[in-house]
Each structure stands twice: as C-alpha cells, then as structure tokens.
C-alpha cells in the first residue's frame, strides 16, 4: 500500500523547487493533488509530471498570499475530490538586504509571502479537517529561524529569519489548538537546498571558496536536494508521524 494512498493534498508554490519535489513525491505515494502557484508554466509542468506518475491533479494559478486564492483552492479541492487530508504550506522566500538597506515594502513582502500565506491556507482547510477529526499540515520553516550564517554575512536575511522563526511559533501554537480535533501540524526546516532558484546562488558562494560558504558550514559538506526535503515532508504527512505535532524537523545536513 502506498503511504498516501487516495489522500487529498493541497500544496502551495508547487511549480518549482521544494514544492514541486513534494508534489511529485506525494504523487508517487498515491496522493490526489490540488496545487497552486503564480507561475502558470511551472505549475502546469508539475501537474503534467504528477499526472505522469498516476495522480489526479487540479492546478490553480494564483497568488498564494491572497485570501480568495486560499479559500478558492480549498473549495475546488472539495468539489473535485470530496475532502482534504493534507496541506503543505510551502510558499515562502526572502529579500536580501541589511537592515539599513531593507525597505518597509520588502519587509512586508517577506512577512506576507511566508506568514500570511501560511495563515490563510491553514485557516481555509482547518474547519473541514476539524469536522472530519483528521488532517496533517506541514509548513516550511528554515534553518534560518536560528539565523542564517552565510546570508547574514554576505547579504542580510533578518526579514527571512524572522518570518521562519514565526513559522515555528505558529506551528507550536496551532498544534495545541488542533490537538483535540486530531489534526497535526508540524514544520520542516531545510538548510541550503539545491533548487532551481536558490541553488545557483548557494553554489556560487561554495565555488568562490568563501569561509562562510553553505557547504563548508554544513557538516555533511554539501547542499541538500529538494527530494531530501520532500522525504521529510512526506514523513510528517504520513501515518508514520501520528504521535508527532508541534515540532520543527531540521533537514540541515547536521548544522
């Protein structure tokens, strides 16, 4: 039996990177997918790849920081599949800049992308999960929740680190709110991951031999892969994690 056989999963930011890897990993394990991304071409490529693995997929192009997008994806998933079992709050990202370079708009955008989207999608699915007394939510935090050595040293990542610490706090509190309803919520905190967008930036620091380069700061001595993160998300979305809620699972290569 596949680990997510016939489970319905909502995944935000599924077009590229970790979100795409999670969508394909879930498809391999038998999930039905409701995907959202603002990049239509990337989203449709993920949807096609997931269908190629046998998954039924709905794909919605929209901005995941808008309440209408969250509510709309939840109701489309319910219309198409009849229930929602899993939510992966994957959308997120940062704006590099030291504090004196960071505009108010940049700061707000980072909070919006990481925290507002996580709040909106969680709020959209939770009433349904509570009613069914079943559900798993996984959010993407980051090793940056404890500070990002390489980013802080070269570019400044205070907004990103603040937002990712916020995800950890959100998960801690939501776990308590949702526990009596048998819904679990956890986070995964990746280290430097070789995604389409972040990978080239991280590798440039490695190749320049900089003393704070990501791979040098990581005991396992290399960047992680999107699939390695997806495997951790899969564990927290599966029955194997049934007595785990409110944690942030580090996928940091040992740091």
How many CA atoms lie within 13 Å of 41's alpha carbon, on the beta-carbon side?
0
Selected range binding ligand NAD among 31-39, 97-105, 151-159, 241-249, rule: CB under 6 A:
31-39
Q: Which is nearer to ligand NAD, 90 or 186 (CB)?
A: 90
Using rule CB under 6 A, residue 253 touches ligand NAD: no
d(CA 12, CA 62): 10
Out of 17, 97, 135, 253, the residue judged to bind ligand NAD by CB under 6 A: 17
Selected range binding ligand NAD among 13-21, 24-32, 72-80, 130-138, rule: CB under 6 A:
13-21
Q: Which is nearer to ligand NAD, 1 or 95 (CB)?
A: 95
Out of 4, 7, 9, 15, the residue judged to bind ligand NAD by CB under 6 A: 15
Out of 145, 190, 237, 248, the residue judged to bind ligand NAD by CB under 6 A: 190
For ligand NAD, the binding residues in 94-133 under the rule CB under 6 A are 113
Q: Which residue has the tokens 């790849």?
A: 49
DSSP H/E element including 18: helix 17-28
Active site residue 212: no
d(CA 78, CA 86): 12
- Any alpha helices (H) in 53-103, and if so which ranges? 67-81
Using rule CB under 6 A, residue 192 touches ligand NAD: yes
How many CA atoms lie within 13 Å of 188's alpha carbon, on the beta-carbon side?
30
Out of 63, 106, 206, 231, the residue judged to bind ligand NAD by CB under 6 A: 63
Q: Which is nearer to ligand NAD, 18 or 32 (CB)?
A: 18
Tokens of 72: 């709309």
Q: Report the relative pairing of strands 8-12 and 32-37 from DSSP bridges.
A: parallel
Each residue of 188-201: b (16+ CB within 10 Å) or e?
bbbbbbbbeebbeb
d(CA 131, CA 158): 38
Q: Which is nearer to ligand NAD, 15 or 135 (CB)?
A: 15
Q: Which is nearer to ligand NAD, 16 or 129 (CB)?
A: 16
Out of 49, 72, 78, 93, the residue judged to bind ligand NAD by CB under 6 A: 93
With beta carbons less than 8 A apart as the criterion, state whether 14 and 23 touch: yes
User: Which residues form the catalytic set?
Assistant: 160
- The residues binding ligand NAD (CB under 6 A) are 13, 15-19, 36-39, 42, 63-65, 90-93, 113, 140, 142, 190, 192-193, 195, 197-198
């Amino acid at each position: 039996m596949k680990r997510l056989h016939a489970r319905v999963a909502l995944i935000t930011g599924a077009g590229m990177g970790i979100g795409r890897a999670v969508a394909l990993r879930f498809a391999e394990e038998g999930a039905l997918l409701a995907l959202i991304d603002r990049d239509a071409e990337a989203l449709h490529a993920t949807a096609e790849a997931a269908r190629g693995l046998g998954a039924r997929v709905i794909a919605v192009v929209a901005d995941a920081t808008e309440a209408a997008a969250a509510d709309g994806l939840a109701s489309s998933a319910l219309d198409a599949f009849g229930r929602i079992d899993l939510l992966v709050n994957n959308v997120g990202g940062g704006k590099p800049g030291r504090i004196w370079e960071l505009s108010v708009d940049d700061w707000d955008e980072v909070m919006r992308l990481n925290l507002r989207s996580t709040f909106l999608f969680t709020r959209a699915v939770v009433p349904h999960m509570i009613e069914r007394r079943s559900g798993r939510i996984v959010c993407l935090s980051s090793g940056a929740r404890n500070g990002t050595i390489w980013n802080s040293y070269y570019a400044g990542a205070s907004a990103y680190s603040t937002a990712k610490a916020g995800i950890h706090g959100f998960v801690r509190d939501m776990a308590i709110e949702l526990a009596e309803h048998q819904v679990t919520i956890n986070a995964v905190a990746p280290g430097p991951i070789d995604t389409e967008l972040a990978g080239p930036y991280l590798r440039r620091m490695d190749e320049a031999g900089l003393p704070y380069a990501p791979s040098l700061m990581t005991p396992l001595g290399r960047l992680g892969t999107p699939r390695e993160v997806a495997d951790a998300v899969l564990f927290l979305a599966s029955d194997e994690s049934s007595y785990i809620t409110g944690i942030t699972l580090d996928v940091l290569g040992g740091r």
